[in-house]
Amino acid sequence: MTHAAPPSTSATTAGTADAKAAAAAQQERDHGRRWWTLATLGLAQLMVVLDATIVNIALPSAQGDLAFSDADRQWVVTAYSLAFGGLLLLGGRLADLLGRRRTLLIGLIGFAVASALGGAASGFGLLVAARALQGAFGAVLAPSALSLLTITFSDPKERGKAFGIFGAIAGAGAAIGLLLGGVLTEYLTWRWCLYVNVPIAVLAGVGAVVFVRKVQPAKGVHLDIPGVITAVLGLGGLVYAFARAETDGWGDPVTVTLIVVSLLLLVAFVLLQRKVAHPLLPMRVVLDRRRGGAYLAIALSAVGMFAVFLFLTYYLQQTKGFSPLKSGVAFLPFVAGILTSSTVVVPRLLPKIGPRFIITTGQLLGAAGLVYLWRLQADSSYLAHVLPALFVMGLGMGLIFASCFNTATSGTQPSDAGVASALVNTGQQVGGALGTALLNTIAATVTASYLGSHTQSPSVLAEAAVAGETRAFLVSAGVFLLGAVLSLVVLPSGPNPVPQRGAQVSAGP
């Protein structure tokens, strides 16, 4: 009786060697396309970030066209931030669960469809629904892009450069949104502030298919349903409460109730995450000093940065008489400052000295720029009093954003990359919402007090508005100083841990 001969050891060894060679060749091809991958992910990030501000300038035109009230106007902005901020943690975990390139493509397609719906909206309800849909798909898109960047660049020098560029996009996107919104509204129609996302999404989608490597879903990731419910309701409720406080005041009973309930839900979320087997947000992600410090720094910086965009836009348009387009152009020094520090300074220093002193310096520069703006008066000139402050603030934001994006995703386990990336965007979103609401209340109170103590005239009205705006700048400077102190205390010294190339890429079999 004869038996089939077993496969030879040499054949098995040859097969294994061929598989390893093919994997190595694929990894080398992926590595060769890494800068095109960065361009693709940067484009996707730009689309998400600029949509937080691009519609603001178009709102008066949209309001005139669709005939909705001043009270309803805020919902065009709030619907986006509410869905985006509330769903980010879920979006980050879905990226880990389904595979990051897949969720990137889903986010791009959904964002494009939502933008087309919003641009074609014939009524207020459809416009708000489209903005909420944009925010929901943005919450899937943003953490997918950042976590893909994390696993694409691991060489310390290249990683610093890549995250410098990505951080510049994230920090400057809001200012670019103001400029682009002014151009599109002035020369086309407000609808193009939404339609413009369609070609951007198509271009990024093609880049994702061609250049972004396929990453298998991470092992051992499960969807924590109780965690999803408490996180979405808690974060969404908090963002909505801040938006409501901006219009109805902090003493409004509904606002107070919303804040209390949202905070209780977030406390319940944290308690759940410590007990469940497969948490939505593993506590190891937040409790690491580097990552925790980066999340805290970016949240506090967002408070001050959004104050600059909001109140300086008011100052330039209402007090100085700038057009929307001219106001957008006026923010270019801010963009120049971000590009300078995030792409020139951070890539050189972060791998050598780590994030602690870079982020702290950025926050001190932010505080310095805001103190300079605090000295504004109704007759101050743009060149002498606004431009220098914007450039200094831009330098600071570039140091903060590039360092925080890099630090918050360094050394994460493959199964945590999506949710760690989501937390960076969550900090930015919640900080921006809190800053806008809190500082708006402070500015309005100071303006009302000034008007109550002066005889009203056109010049007094202008001075009252500037008094409120400059008080908001001063409070924001204090927030940056607080951030600088906390960064020194929380962030450890020394460079970030960075794995060897390919170590984080193997997020699945």
User: What tens digit of pLDDT does each residue of 315-350 get?
Assistant: 888 888 888 788 888 989 998 999 899 888 988 888
Supply the pLDDT for residue 509. Answer: 26
Supply the pLDDT for residue 252. Answer: 86
Supply the pLDDT for residue 5. Answer: 52
Orientation angle between helical segments 70-98 and 225-248, nearest 10 degrees: 160
Please tell me which residue, 364 or 3, carries the higher pLDDT value: 364
User: Which residues are CB-contacts of 422 (< 8 A; sequence separation ≥ 6)?
Assistant: 88, 89, 91, 92, 93, 95, 139, 142, 143
Average pLDDT rounded to a whole number, residues 211-230: 78
Which residue type sits at 146?
L
Distance CA(163)–CA(467), nearest Å, equals 38
3-class SS at 197?
helix
The position carrying tokens 């410090």 is 293
Supply the pLDDT for residue 354. Answer: 85
What pLDDT band is residue 28 in, cutting at 50, 70 and 90?
low
pTM of the predicted model as reported, rounded to 2 decimal places: 0.81
Q: Is the pLDDT of residue 500 over 80?
A: no
Distance CA(32)–CA(323), nearest Å, equals 45
Distance CA(24)–CA(27), nearest Å, equals 5
Distance CA(267)–CA(233), nearest Å, equals 12
